[in-house]
Amino acid sequence: MAYMGLLLEIFSIFLILPIIVSYIYGEPATPFFAAFTVAIFIGIFLEKYFERESLDLSRGLVLTALTFIMFSILGAIPFMLMEGGPSMNTIDAVFESVSGFTTTGLTVFSDVEALPKSILFWRSETQWIGGMGIIILFLSILSGLKTSSLALYSAQGYSERLEPTIKETTQKMVKIYGTYSILGFSALYLSGLPVFEAITTMFSAISTGGFTVVNVFYSSSWTLAVVSILMILGSINFIIHDKIFKKKFDMVRNNVEIRSFFITLGIFILVAYTTTRSLEISVFQMISAMTATGFSITNVSMLAPILIFIIIIAMVVGSSSGSTAGGIKQLRIILALKSVVWAIKKTTLPKDAVIPLKLNGEPVKDDIARITQVFIFTYLTILGLGALSMMFYGYTPIASIFQVASAMGTVGMSVINVGASETGVKMILMACMFLGRLEIFPIFVIIEKMIMRR
């Protein structure tokens, strides 16, 4: 609990920015002061009255899950206390906050331009925080965690390090994320966006979040090009970014996940173009779907059925592991396919034949392959159950699958009016967003611990 306290203290710092924005635009800052006060009070209390204990992977997963839940609840306070915009009930406020911190982008608002600037800034900022991960920021600041730092780092879904220590690794990740954020803001500003829109759009694009501050997304080719590049950068593994910064371009080109991503993206764009006959829509929408961002420059619900089906596949597959994007991830799909080929070879060749399963030229342990297969099976099972639950509320099978795939993939594209949907639908989508962003297992660990205590 002491670690949670420290995380809440860091979280409270991010509430200072929307307070500044509220003063700039002459809007009430009370909603953010209230959230700041609650966060800092709970944070100090937990840090003072609980001791820091060494964390293993299991506890790290639990802390990760609880952090997202706690942040989503506290992040909903500004929405509930919002002045100058539409009133919100608790479920809607929490939904918007969950969608932000999980970098999903589904929204209950039909007219975002009616919201105060400070609220719009906070919505986008929650996605920027969720994309980087508050625990990664926490690890980059705090030293002396020893074994706990490795557990927390692994609990975020990262296996490789950029540097010898976890602190150095996370500091580099923050620098990479920050560098792209600054470059992204500058490029969007130069493309013609006002400062406020350039900042908030950058927040949502680099985090592959998808919240917008305008009702109709931008049509400028330069702006769309910059946003597309930011979405792709946000969906690429930090390990690859490190190699780019070190100018190890051969290693980037030879990475199987990068090749798979661009080949798959190219195929999807080609199929989309044959349907829409619009290169702009085909390229942008497919990038938005595969990077799990969710920006839209067209009414997705009005697209041809074949294109909606392609978008569903893109949302489920997702992008790179170790990135801000969602979905099953390219690496898991590749490993699963390779496992099938490997299993066939093992069956047909002599029993004493040694046939290692390799990925990127490195052998893969059997337990990694099994965990990957279990994850994919679990992911698709939850997606199916979620879609069936949506159908119970009267939605068509395609709309149900699309919406659950969008939530679990943390994409944010929508073919239904989320704001007008029933509370049960919002609860289903929130659960899918959590499971998708946390990659399922942390939630299962919490459930297991609760059952074991009983």
pLDDT of the chain, 454 residues: tens digit per residue: 778 888 898 899 999 999 999 999 999 999 999 999 999 999 999 888 877 777 666 777 778 888 888 999 999 999 999 987 777 899 999 999 999 999 999 999 999 999 999 999 999 999 999 888 777 776 776 655 555 566 566 555 566 667 777 777 888 888 999 999 999 999 999 999 999 999 999 999 999 999 999 999 999 999 999 999 999 999 988 888 888 888 888 878 888 888 888 999 999 999 999 988 899 999 999 999 999 999 999 999 888 899 999 999 999 998 887 777 778 888 888 888 888 777 777 777 676 666 777 776 677 776 777 888 888 899 999 999 999 999 999 999 999 999 999 999 999 999 999 999 999 999 999 999 988 888 777 677 666 666 666 5
pTM: 0.90
Bridge partners of 359? 362
SS3 breakdown of the chain: % helix, strand, coil, rounded to 5? Answer: 70, 0, 30
Rounded (10°) angle between helices 166-190 and 134-141 = 120
End-to-end alpha carbon distance in the chain: 21
Tokens 């719009």 label which residue? Answer: 120
CA distances from 173 to 136, 148, 237, 247, 275 (A): 8, 18, 10, 16, 39
How far apart are the C-alpha atoms of 69 and 151, rounded to whole Å? 19
How far apart are the C-alpha atoms of 454 and 450, rounded to whole Å? 7
Amino acid (one-letter) located at 237: N
CA distances from 371 to 57, 155, 320, 375, 384 (A): 15, 15, 17, 6, 20
Buried b (16+ CB within 10 A) or exposed e, 176-215: bbeebbebbbebbbebebeebbbbbbbbbbbbbbbbbbee
Pick from 328, 433, 409: nearest CA to 100: 433
